[in-house]
Chain A
Amino acid sequence: MLWLAEGTWEGCIDTAAPLIPEDARVSLLYVVPEDVLHAAGAAAEGLIGRWRPRLGPTEQMAGEATASGEALVAAAAGLLGRAGVGQVIRRGRVEREVVRAAEAADLLVVARDGDRSRLGPHSLGPATRFVVDHAPCSVLLVWPDEVPDADSIPPPPEGRRRDRSASPHEPYPPHASLGEPPPLEKSGNDPR
């Protein structure tokens, strides 16, 4: 199952498509963010005594939100170019609906959002972080666009680290290699 959201859905399909086995059953998920509609509706409720159009902003926007979600999923299915792709539209709190929808899936593909100009820290948006944290199945976290190189990790705060090492209460004695972005990992992953 692929969770699609505005801004990252094309990259998600592009990156994930070559990784999906031929015989896998694929479904595409979009969640209408009901809390956003509620916030707009509540703002109108706050105008006590005024402006009572027959449809409040929430109702006005709900139809449009569902239609645009369906259009997004249909466009994504076209981009994926496979037969028999399931299309799932849900409504509610986005992160919770994604977790519910993933219950029946073997693998959930999630696109990164947030700051994608560097690696970490706290790079995932709140909803994405929640989904990665709570997913009831395996999760494939994909970069929807170019992957920044490993040098983009912000350097650790050198000064503070040295200060802390001077403290006799430091529970974890600092290791010399912690100060550098670890080159070890890259060579360690090389299939030699």
Chain B
Amino acid sequence: MSGAPAEILAIVLLAATLIVAVVRPWRLPEALVSVPAAALVLAFGILPLHVAAEEARNLGPTIGFLAAVLVIAAMAERGGLFAAAGTWMAAASRGRPVALLALVFVVGSTVTAILSLDATVVLLTPVVFATAARLRLRARPHVYACTHLANSASLLLPVSNLTNLLAYRASGLSFARFGAVMALPWLAAIAVEWAVLRRFFAADLVGRGVTDGARPVALPVYPVAVIALTLVGFLVTSIVHIDPAFAAAAGAIALVLPAVRSRKVSLGNVGRAVDVPFLAFVLALGLIVSAVSYRGLGSAVDHLVPHGSSLWSLLAVAAIAAVLANAINNLPAVLLLLPAVAAGGAGPVMAVLIGVNTGPNLTYVGSLATLLWRRTLRRHEVEPPMSEFLRLGALTVPLVLLVATLALWLSLRVVG
């Protein structure tokens, strides 16, 4: 199949994959639709086999890397890292709400950067909520800080966000250089979030929490040490030109083996943490987007996206990426944009990441998902309470995009 029908079928398959991933009828795994859809793409010849093989070769190590990071985060949670962080924040804040918000920013940004945004959203947010509730402080500013930082603070390292992992190879940067280039944009994005959230929630950052009986639990030494060594491993592997995915794998194994041996964790738990259906979903999504791109949309995107590393073209790329991330969700957005910008070097690739990573704070989950979610809620006669989230997004996202891209431009000048 070729021409317009091929492109239309590819887009239909992409839409079906995304809708099923968001709606999840009967809580079926997303891979149940995305994998057959990818198979159709190959069977109908929408994506030639040699292109598919090339794409799979690129995605393979990324997916392995992702699996290792998922395992590290899950094992750290089982090791009590997040619970300990919660009690530490409670004690160190001494019940002062602004101090607690500052600590949530520090912990949230660190967890997002090292253990990925998934860890912040799924593992840290409930802990932060419980911490605020235990202190009898209003949870609102702290919970919103987590949801925002999960996106804005996911700029720093390739492991911080799946989008970064996908772009990491296209950027041509080593792991350490990626971090060096993104350090300034990362800090800039966090600073903007702080300045806005601190004011936006000023009325909720009131009173003094109850601190009696809040004894900090000791930070679990072993998981922290393994994570620190894994970070060192990322640096070392990038210096000696080994794939840093091996450092991540070593870290994951170092956390899993003792836990399994002492029967704290079953092999089933580890299997669930690796999340094979999700890895299959990412691979299938990559192939489907590649087909959509191959059949014409790729060259359209290529025309649309400015090339070069001037400040204006970086800003334009970041803005386009942010809009696309909100229109179709950031995973397909980054897959679609990468081929167009990769030739321009690290600058435009990083600008895409600023857009797709911080852009989703504008709506809940990208507008496709938002629409579907709102519809589901209405069916249950619940009016989705979105106005506050949307107002906060409208205040932060354009400013974060602007300041972080400016920081990227500066950073590229300094770090190169």
Binding site for B on A (CB under 8 A): 5-11, 33-36, 38-40, 42-53, 57, 60-61, 64-65, 68, 72, 93, 113-116, 124-128, 144
Q: How far is the CB of A134 from chain B (nearest CB, A)?
A: 16
CB distance from B177 to the nearest CB of A (A): 27
Given contacts A47-B118, A68-B133, contact A57 B126 (CB under 8 A): yes
The reply to whether the CB of B106 lies closer than 8 angstroms to some CB of chain A is no
Q: B129 near A48 (CB under 8 angstroms)?
A: no
Check A48–B329 contact: CB distance below 8 A.
Answer: yes
Q: Is B236 an interface residue (CB 8 A)?
A: no
A49-B278 in contact given A35-B388, A114-B206 (Cβ < 8 Å): yes
Q: Which residues of A contact B68 (CB under 8 A)?
A: none
Closest 7 CB pairs of A and B: A125-B203, A7-B207, A46-B365, A35-B385, A68-B133, A114-B203, A7-B206
Question: Are A61 and B126 within 8 A (Cβ)?
Answer: yes
B226 contacts A by Cβ under 8 Å? no
Partner of A45, one of B22, B126, B150, B202: B22
CB distance B207 to A8 under 8 Å?
yes
Contact across chains for B129 and A64 when beta carbons are under 8 A apart: yes
Q: Count B interface residues, CB 8 Å.
A: 54
Q: Which residue of B lies closest to A71 (CB)?
A: B136
Taking a contact as CB atoms closer than 8 A, the residue among B18, B147, B285, B385 that contacts A43 in the complex is B147
Does chain A have a CB within 8 A of B275?
A: yes
* Bound CA–CA A51/B116 (angstroms): 12
In chain A, what residue has the closest Cβ to B200? A126
Q: How far is the CA of A57 from the CA of B144 in the complex (A)?
A: 13
Q: List 25 A-B contacts (CB under 8 A).
A: A7-B204, A7-B206, A36-B144, A39-B389, A40-B125, A42-B147, A43-B365, A44-B121, A47-B121, A47-B122, A48-B21, A49-B31, A49-B278, A52-B27, A57-B129, A60-B126, A61-B125, A64-B129, A65-B129, A65-B133, A113-B203, A114-B203, A124-B203, A125-B203, A126-B203
Q: A47-B122, A61-B130, A125-B204 are in contact. List 4 more A-B contacts (CB 8 A).
A: A36-B140, A51-B122, A65-B129, A114-B203
With known contacts A8-B206, A46-B364, A38–B385 Cβ distance under 8 A: yes
CA distance A79 to B21 in the complex (A): 50
With A51-B122, A124-B203 known as contacts, the answer to whether A40 contacts B385 (CB < 8 A) is no
Contacts of A68 in B (CB 8 A): 133-134, 136
A49 touches B121 (CB 8 A): no
Q: Assess whether B385 is in contact with A34, with CB atoms less than 8 Å apart.
A: yes
| Given known A42-B364, A42-B373, A43-B364, contact A7–B389 (CB-CB < 8 A) | no
Contact of A113 with B373 in the complex, beta carbons under 8 Å = no
A6 touches which of B70, B118, B144, B207 (Cβ 8 Å): B207
Distance of B314 from chain A, by nearest CB (Å): 25
Q: Which of B126, B205, B206, B360: most chain A CB closer than 10 A? A: B206
A6→B137 contact, CB < 8 A:
yes
Interface flag for B138 (CB, 8 Å): yes
CB distance from A46 to the nearest CB of B (A): 3
Q: Which of A5, A51, A93, A126 contacts B118 (CB 8 A)?
A: A51
**From residue B165, how far is it (CB to closest CB) to chain A in Å?**
13
B114 within 8 A of A: no
- Is B206 in contact with A40, judged by CB distance below 8 angstroms? no
The distance in angstroms between the C-alpha atoms of A126 and B204, with both chains bound, is 9
A53-B122, A113-B206 known; A40+B147 contact, CB < 8 A: yes
| Closest chain B residue to A10, Cβ basis | B207
Considering only CB atoms, which chain A residue lies closest to B277 in the complex?
A: A49
Taking the complex as formed, is B366 at the interface, i.e. its CB lies under 8 A from any CB of chain A?
yes
